[in-house]
A and B are shown apart, each in its own frame.
Chain A
Amino acid sequence: MTRRMWIAVISLAGLFIGIYLTLYHYGMIGTLACGVSSCEKVQTSRWAMFLGVPIATWGAAYYALMLALSMARIQPRLEESAGLTLATFVLASWGMIFSAWLNYLEGFVLHAWCEWCLGSTALVLVLFTLAFLEWRDYRRAGEVELEGADNIAD
């Protein structure tokens, strides 16, 4: 399996976490409550919403977009698309920054760690690493191909 396939697999897993937490946020899964447990504290805090949309839904959207991008890049026609490779890397970087901010809030503002959010952070970290490697390799391959083409031409 290629890196972008792993990106797709991890994104799909993350998408389900995002959907699960969104349904939880709206009380469609489990029972709506304010709790002293860490995850409930995080989920019901003022930081659980961003621009009027639950953080979990932003997460689901991020994973969905990541999944769509990687699925597109698996198609032979778009396999070498520089734009999509760059978009994946930019999106993965944004996911990392956003996750870091949320983890900062959990640790230093709310003093509560939600295991689902930490799980999501781990996925985001892996996605970022894969996207970075892909982007780096794409750039390197470009250079190598140019050199290789030079040799063929000779």
Chain B
Amino acid sequence: MAKKRVDAGRGRKPGVVKATKKSSASNNAFYLIIAVIAVAGVAALTYVSTRKTNVATASPIDTTLPKVESNGYVMGSPTALVEVTEFGDFECPACGTFSLLTEPELRKRFVDAGQVRWRFVDFPLSMHKNTWNASRAAACADEQGKFWAYHDVLYSRQDQWNGEATNDPDKFMKQYAQQIGLNTSQFDQCVDTKKYQAKIQAHELLGEKRKIGQTPTFLVGTQQIAGAVPYDGFAKTITEELAKAGAKPGVGGDTAKGVPVKPGS
């Protein structure tokens, strides 16, 4: 048995050498294929990761789709030249990222300056379990004139109340209401009775009619932006729309003119 093993080792060696010689051409082919895939892969990744800075982030709005009109929640001057309508889902991480990273600067530069009126329309996606609770709660906060404060809290605390984190999102909704100084008994009753369920359904329906495919989606004057694009691309689109609207004052594409701004919202 021991002899067999020694001989087996000896017998194997010539085979290995033979195989190496035979495969030198196939080795070359292999290294060529590996090099081609590596170069193609790196080139493709480089292309797709830099592409977004080269192409327009916005596309023209289909004007045949139903108008947004007076739905949603509005912030900013009724006489602003351009209106931005955001279709958002409170539980969507991309909306959260946009709200925390991009929106504050846009508000400061365009909304506070009176150039842009910002409208938020709920578009709750079916994959997000607690997003309806959040939308209803935000509507309850709006009842007390604090939609935007509540909106900001919801996005900044997504990690606490999202569908994976809790099965009782209303507990957090009520906590946040207290934290931003709402009348809690009124708010709690509003949340418990699902007072604004129909309103959120109307918002959802509007998004479906407008063929919204993802959140956040923004209607910026005559253009549409899909996804949480970084500040620069967004600001560029607003600036373009302001220039267009500036030439013809009062025209902001798909905007609702003269919609009164709710106090405090």
Residues of chain A at the chain B interface (Cβ within 8 Å): 1-2, 5, 8-9, 12-13, 15-16, 19-20, 23, 27-37, 40-41, 44-46, 74, 76, 79-80, 110, 145-146, 148-150, 152-153
Contacts and interface: CB of A to CB of B under 8 A. Distances in A.
A91 B92 CA distance: 35
A32 B94 contact: yes
B8 A146 contact: yes
Interface residues of B, number: 48
Contacts, number: 121
Given A9-B37, A12-B38, A153-B3, 6 more contacts: A8-B34, A23-B45, A32-B228, A33-B216, A79-B16, A146-B4
A46 B130 CA distance: 13
Contacts of A2: 23, 26
A145 B215 contact: no
Interface string B1-24: 001110110111000100110010
Interface string B94-112: 1101100000000000000
Given A16-B45, A41-B127, A76-B20, A46 B227 contact: no
A30 B52 contact: yes
Nearest to A112: B127
Contacts of A46: 163-164
B59 to A, nearest CB: 12
Contacts of A20: 44-45, 48
User: Which of B16, B19, B30, B213 is packed against the most chain A CB atoms within 10 Å?
Assistant: B30
Contacts of A9: 30, 33-34, 37
B75 to A, nearest CB: 22
Contacts of B11: 145, 148-149, 152
B45 A34 contact: no
A149 B8 contact: yes
Contacts of A145: 8, 11-12
B127 A16 contact: no
B56 interface: no
Contacts of A79: 16, 19
B256 to A, nearest CB: 25
Which 5 residue pairs spanning A and B have beta carbons closest together?
A31-B227, A35-B214, A34-B92, A33-B227, A16-B41
B226 interface: yes
Interface in B34-67: 34, 37-38, 41, 44-45, 48-49, 52, 57
Contacts of B163: 46
A44 B127 CA distance: 9
Contact of A44 (B7, B29, B92): B92
A33 B228 contact: yes
A57 B44 CA distance: 18
A35 B217 CA distance: 10
A9 B16 CA distance: 22
Contacts of B26: 1-2, 5
